[in-house]
Structure 1
Amino acid sequence: MGCASSTVAVADLNKSLKAGESGRSVLLKLEAAPWLLSTPTSVITTTAGTPLHVACEHKQLQVVQQMLSFLSCSPLCTVREALQPYCRRMGQQLPGSPAEGVRMAVDMINCKGQTPLMYACTVGSPELVKLLLSQGADPWVGDRCGSRTALHYAAMSGSAACVEAILAHVAPRHMSRQGVRLVNARSFCGLTALHYAVFFDHTQAVAELLRHDPLLSAVTSSKSYDMLCTCETLSSPLHFAAIKGNAETARQLLQHHALLSAAARGQDPRLQRNAAHQLPWQVAASHHPGSRDLVAMLHPGQALERALGLVPGGGPGSADALRTGPASLATLAAAALQAKLRADLERALPHQEEEGDTEKVEEEQGQRQDGGEDDGLCGVCFAEREQVAPAGCRHGLCGRCAAELCRGMQTARGGRPRPLGCPFCRREVSAFVAVASEPGPSGGQAACGGRCLPESAGGVGAAGVVLVEA
């Protein structure tokens, strides 16, 4: 094909893409000239991207789908013809299969090292992000302007949807490399996606990144040309929030740190110093002396919970309460089990004895203690009679100890119930049954103390254990 006709074909395709023509129209042009797929859309400047870049820039999801479908459904000779211009520019070998050709196409770069995935993140198109990732796009590719990844571009554009799309739909093999998680990938200057989102005041993108537990202690290694103000090296995201004077973003970062578990929390980010040995509060005071609330929140002299206005302890509004978040299905099921066990106890335990009966029980207990007999006593406190037992294992308990076990289902943090285990065999307790008070064959309880009583089909144990229906 001559130079003139080639120029006309490229210009015509570029015009079609920018005009938003249908994918079918673009597909017809590619079928007539497959090499157009990887040819720069401008013959005047080499900074132009391929038609795939242009389609992503204009959020043309259908066109991108048609282009990738064209490659995957074409014979190998057509795929190679389509990608030959790109392979020549990059010095790469031609693909060995249509599938390899599709993976090469979604990772094509322009002269700035930018991929179609970066274009999709810049314009905020999560649908395109998901499509490109599903076709094998590599989210770790860094551009030639600082080795910024597609996640950096999503953070810079403030597209929380693209951040979520990348971190939720990336292939498992791309989740980490050389021990570094994708959310913590750094640019040439040591900037993470969180640095960019904080610097450009994209609070929604910051919130989405924090959902994936980024490294709050990540610091810059040098100054970056794409930042509009001077940032000292070794600056953390909290330093960036202080430089920008963004109290909301600073609160997001500190609250995320406060809600981490003690094992994962690490150092308070307010204590991290930059290369000038400045703490975040000092940076905020020098850049924004009038922002007293921000400086006070960043000052490490007061407890973090107090700085954030959280209620001390474990009640509502505390860090523990916020850390737990919405209850899971497992937690709700455990809470329902707790309520059921308490209802079992109310039905199984006898009503409060009269005063005379109480004196009689105390007298019998004193006689048993004097005689040294433990049969029929609660296996936990050895002070009261067995009144209930777990339905599965039948290890007897008194009503008071069983009630305490139910209350013990509350965890120490957040007040969420957990499944109850038998204190003797650790089997999960699904129901309580009442232990009848009739004497055994020898005039007392069975030799096992009522802890190994079998059930009968009629709901009454062979040794007098009565099942309590839920």
Structure 2
Amino acid sequence: MGQGLSCRTSDEHGLFTAVQFGDLDTVEAVLERDPSLIHRTTVFDRHSALHIAAANGRIEIVSILLDGSVNPDLLNRHKQTPLMLAAMHGKISCVQKLIQAGANILMFDSLNGRTCLHYAAYYGHTDCLQAILSAAHNSQVSISWGFSRFVNIRDGKGATPLHLAARQRRPECVHILLDNGALVCATTGGYGFPGSTPLHLAARGGSLDCIRELLAWGSDRLHRDASGRIPYTVALKHKHGACAALLNPSSAEPLVWPSPLKFISELNQDAKALLEQALMEANKEREKSILKGTTYMPPSPSHSDVGVDDSISEASDTELCCICFDQVCTIEVQECGHRMCAQCTLALCCYNKPNPTTACLTAPVCPFCRSCIARLVVAEVKTDQNTECDLNSPKLKRSRRSRNFSEGSSSFKGLSAVSSFGKIGGRGSGRIAAENAWVDKPLSLDT
């Protein structure tokens, strides 16, 4: 009898080890000898074979276990599901497989009361974050709970996924969450300092990129936490000087998305990407003037960035924006078909921080025909040889030249001054601060 228990224990440990290292043949052999081992767990953390496979990205073994009728929502000692561990470790194929198998995205662990969405945001795995959000769109969660409520779901300490992404310096996750309806003004409970907004937490973490994203979505620089501190004060306390300079209430306000108009959400995705890029570049130009002369001034463009010869594929005059006479027309208004550059489109559609007293503004209108702008798409750009150009190519950048702006209609004069933003995709702006990389480690065994 003792020998039988010893063999069973040996097989059990062998199964967990084989799962961790992806030894598919051993896993199949052990389960063939004793199919009941598929439901066994480790001694201390109560990890099942499915937990270990998901955390280590062993998609073939995950598939075998799920095909063997293993519950995709098994809980370990901390009430974590395999989906949570896959999201934590960034194993996108396992995340997708578990979701397809019916894993519940609305389960909370017992450590911090977090969901798989919190884990993906905290550890900065954008592909997993997108997969979970897509699943929420197409599942009963959006019907029973509401998608917006899920995006802004709070953990046991009152932190939303956006709070965690901002604190952990995950700008890509911050952008995805904001783009999916995360509340930029939400405050925490016990996480961080009570009453902190994502901007407070980004200031504490010192991520300029997170701060840029939050400010562009209308985050309030004057919002105070429970102790009365604004984000500027938090950045100073933690010695993040560049962040403090941007958060200083006396510095110029950034451009923000026109959320009261619900305009950006109705854009063609390609046009939206162009406008997002143009807006972020415009705010980076604003940052340069704020940081000019300080120790936080970004480095000057390299020699290779100066004097780039862009005459190889210079657009014809008819392709230039008739408002600023400087940038190539990349955005087309439908249904009228008039074209503008992305910067001038921003001047029409983006404003400073929305004022609650003017929340019912009328929709922006085309400056050429005065019709309401219902839809924007990417304009098809042609060269003189009638061949299509890549909108992201630096060859589309036309060198600045002296022009008499009175050539255009007088109604555009003020607008052209507003729309003189930085170039799209300029290499000289660069990143001021690098983000920390998270090193993935395989889940340890404790048998």
1:3 aligned residue: 5
Offset, 1:248: 1.8
Amino acid in structure 2 at the alignment position of 1:189: K
Following superposition of structure 1 onto structure 2, how do residues 267-282 of structure 1 map, counting pairs within 5 Å? Answer: 268-282=219-233
Larger-gyration structure (1/2): 1
1:124 aligned residue: 90
CA distance in 1 between partners of 2:161 and 2:244 (Å): 24
2:68 is aligned, of 64, 67, 70, to: 70
Following superposition of structure 1 onto structure 2, how do residues 116-195 of structure 1 map, counting pairs within 5 Å? Answer: 116-170=82-136, 171-175=138-142, 178=145, 181-195=149-163
User: Against the structure 1 CA distance between its residues 168 and 272, is the aligned structure 2 distance closer, same or farther, given a 3 Å change threshold?
Assistant: same
Amino acid in structure 2 at the alignment position of 1:5: C
Offset, 1:253: 0.8
Offset, 1:123: 1.5
1:218 aligned residue: 186
Offset, 1:207: 2.2
CA distance in 2 between partners of 1:25 and 1:410 (Å): 66
Offset, 1:192: 1.1
Amino acid in structure 1 at the alignment position of 2:186: A
Following superposition of structure 1 onto structure 2, how do residues 50-89 of structure 1 map, counting pairs within 5 Å? Answer: 50-71=48-69
Following superposition of structure 1 onto structure 2, how do residues 97-112 of structure 1 map, counting pairs within 5 Å? Answer: 102=70, 105-112=71-78
Q: How many residues in Structure 1 have an aligned counterpart in Structure 2?
A: 287
Offset, 1:140: 1.4
1:297 is aligned, of 206, 226, 246, to: 246
User: Against the structure 1 CA distance between its residues 338 and 112, is the aligned structure 2 distance closer, same or farther, given a 3 Å change threshold?
Assistant: closer
Amino acid in structure 2 at the alignment position of 1:220: T
Offset, 1:132: 0.5
Contact 2:56 2:91 in 1 (8 A): no
- SS of residue in 1 equivalent to 2:127: helix
**1:377-412 Cα distance to aligned partner (Å, 9 max, x none):** xxxxxxxxxxxxxxxxxxxxxxxxxxx998233529
CA distance in 1 between partners of 2:158 and 2:125 (Å): 21
Could you tell me which runs of 5 or more consecutive residues in structure 2 were left unpaired when the two chains were aligned: 273-329, 339-365, 380-447
| Worse-superposed segment, 28-37 or 133-142 | 28-37
Contact 1:321 1:414 in 2 (8 A): no
CA distance in 1 between partners of 2:331 and 2:75 (Å): 50
Following superposition of structure 1 onto structure 2, how do residues 272-421 of structure 1 map, counting pairs within 5 Å? Answer: 272-288=223-239, 291=241, 293-301=242-250, 304-305=253-254, 326-327=270-271, 335=334, 338=337, 407-409=369-371, 411=373
- SS of residue in 2 equivalent to 1:181: helix
Greater relative contact order, per chain length (Cα 8 Å cut-off, separation 6+): 2
Contact 2:84 2:115 in 1 (8 A): yes
1:428 aligned residue: none
**1:269-325 Cα distance to aligned partner (Å, 9 max, x none):** 22321110111112222222x61x42242234455336x8x9x9xxxxxxx999967
2:164 is aligned, of 185, 196, 202, to: 196
Amino acid in structure 1 at the alignment position of 2:50: L
CA distance in 2 between partners of 1:415 and 1:134 (Å): 33
User: Against the structure 1 CA distance between its residues 19 and 411, is the aligned structure 2 distance closer, same or farther, given a 3 Å change threshold?
Assistant: closer
Offset, 1:151: 1.0
TM-score, normalization by structure 1: 0.54
CA distance in 2 between partners of 1:27 and 1:332 (Å): 56
CA distance in 1 between partners of 2:377 and 2:32 (Å): 64
Offset, 1:220: 1.4
Amino acid in structure 2 at the alignment position of 1:252: E
Contact 1:121 1:159 in 2 (8 A): yes
**1:92-133 Cα distance to aligned partner (Å, 9 max, x none):** xxxxxxxxxx5xx11001101111001111211111111111
Amino acid in structure 2 at the alignment position of 1:107: D
- SS of residue in 1 equivalent to 2:246: helix
1:253 aligned residue: 214
Following superposition of structure 1 onto structure 2, how do residues 236-251 of structure 1 map, counting pairs within 5 Å? Answer: 236-251=197-212
CA distance in 1 between partners of 2:270 and 2:222 (Å): 31
1:209 is aligned, of 172, 177, 190, to: 177
User: Against the structure 1 CA distance between its residues 178 and 334, is the aligned structure 2 distance closer, same or farther, given a 3 Å change threshold?
Assistant: closer
User: Against the structure 1 CA distance between its residues 131 and 220, is the aligned structure 2 distance closer, same or farther, given a 3 Å change threshold?
Assistant: same
User: Against the structure 1 CA distance between its residues 275 and 127, is the aligned structure 2 distance closer, same or farther, given a 3 Å change threshold?
Assistant: same
2:17 maps to 1:15: yes
Contact 2:222 2:230 in 1 (8 A): yes
Offset, 1:206: 1.9
- SS of residue in 1 equivalent to 2:68: helix
Contact 1:138 1:174 in 2 (8 A): no
Amino acid in structure 2 at the alignment position of 1:32: R
- SS of residue in 2 equivalent to 1:232: coil
User: Against the structure 1 CA distance between its residues 332 and 278, is the aligned structure 2 distance closer, same or farther, given a 3 Å change threshold?
Assistant: closer
User: Against the structure 1 CA distance between its residues 321 and 5, is the aligned structure 2 distance closer, same or farther, given a 3 Å change threshold?
Assistant: closer
CA distance in 1 between partners of 2:237 and 2:367 (Å): 56
User: Against the structure 1 CA distance between its residues 270 and 15, is the aligned structure 2 distance closer, same or farther, given a 3 Å change threshold?
Assistant: same
- SS of residue in 1 equivalent to 2:52: helix
